Structure formats: C-alpha cells, structure tokens
Amino acid sequence: MKSRIYLMIAIQIVIVGIAFFFFNRLTIFKEIEASLTYQIVYIIIFSIVFVFLVPKIAKLLMLINKRKTYQLEDGESLLNEYKTYDFSTTYPEQIPLKITNQNLIVTLHRQDKVYPISALKSMKVSSFFGKPYSLNLNFGKKKLTIIAENALDIERKVRQIINQ
C-alpha cells in the first residue's frame, strides 16, 4: 500500500518536473536563467514546495476548522471500521471509514461526511497491477473514491447491508 502511495507521489514529481522543464524552455530561450542547472534547481525547489509544504499548509488550515462528529441515530449500529486513504490535495490522507447498518461515515478534513447506503447507485473496485486497491462509490451527484488494502472486504460488507 505504501509503495503505491510513494509511486503516486513520484509520478506527480516527474510530471511537474517535465512540465516546468518544457514550459520554461519555451518561454525563456535566450536568457541566462534558461541554463539546465537553473532549470533543475528550480524544478527541485518547486517539487519540494509542492509535495511537502503544500500538504503541511493544508493540514494547518484544516486544524482551524471545528471538528464535526456524527452521532449515531436510534436503531443505527456501527458494524465495521476500516483504515483507508484519500488523495486530498497532493498527499494521501488517512481517513477512517465507518460502516453502519444505514450509512457510510467518512472523516475527511476533520469533518464527518455521512453517505446513506440507500442512496448508493453503483460501486466499483479498481485494481492496480492485479491487486484491488480503490473503491469507487457513486451516490448520484456525490462520488467517493477511497484507497484501501481491503477494498474487496469493504465492497462485500456494503453489498451485504444493501441486500438485507
């Protein structure tokens, strides 16, 4: 799981590096700053800021928000809780997924998002190199994609609740 996350971060860095290299080569052709060493240093600095600093700033901004927790209603019971991931801005954020007999509860950016299972229109497990890793849930206008090592288990559990 961690290797896939690191692979996604590496792909982001490579894409940003290639984009900035070609973009700056086209715009600044004859100036001194168009040297290859300048380009490489610029790409490294931008990648460090993009991959490490932006997520830290996003986390600090999320700490300002007041935490909104969902209270279980009458007749609702917590069945399972899973550790999943979501790519928020540029980094994978660990989000707990709670499955009740009526709702899916996802804590994203310190806010509990509640998705009723009855509103679920489609559910699909995507695989990466033959291993299931993400679960795509479609609730009509709302869509939720979570990354989990046990995506098939989560799908089976939700289908059991729907079929009851």
Are 82 and 148 contacting, i.e. CB atoms less than 8 angstroms apart?
yes
Model confidence, pTM: 0.60
pLDDT tens-place values along the chain, 164 residues long: 566 677 777 777 777 777 677 666 655 555 555 577 777 777 787 777 777 777 777 777 767 767 778 888 888 888 888 888 887 656 677 888 898 988 889 887 778 888 988 888 988 888 877 777 788 889 888 888 888 888 888 888 888 888 87
pLDDT for the residue numbered 31: 56
CATH 2.30.29.30 residue ranges for the chain: 78-163
pLDDT for the residue numbered 74: 84
3-state secondary structure string across 94-160? EEEEEEECCEEEEEECCEEEEEEHHHCCEEEEEEECCEEEEEEEEECCEEEEEECCCHHHHHHHHHH
Q: How far is CA 66 from the centre of its chain?
A: 21
pLDDT for the residue numbered 72: 84
Paired strand residues for 107: 112
Assigned fold of 78-163: PH-domain like (2.30.29)
pLDDT for the residue numbered 69: 80
Q: What is the C-alpha to C-alpha distance for residues 34 and 117, in angstroms, rounded to an integer?
A: 55
Pairing relation of β-strands 131-139 and 111-116? unpaired
pLDDT for the residue numbered 161: 84
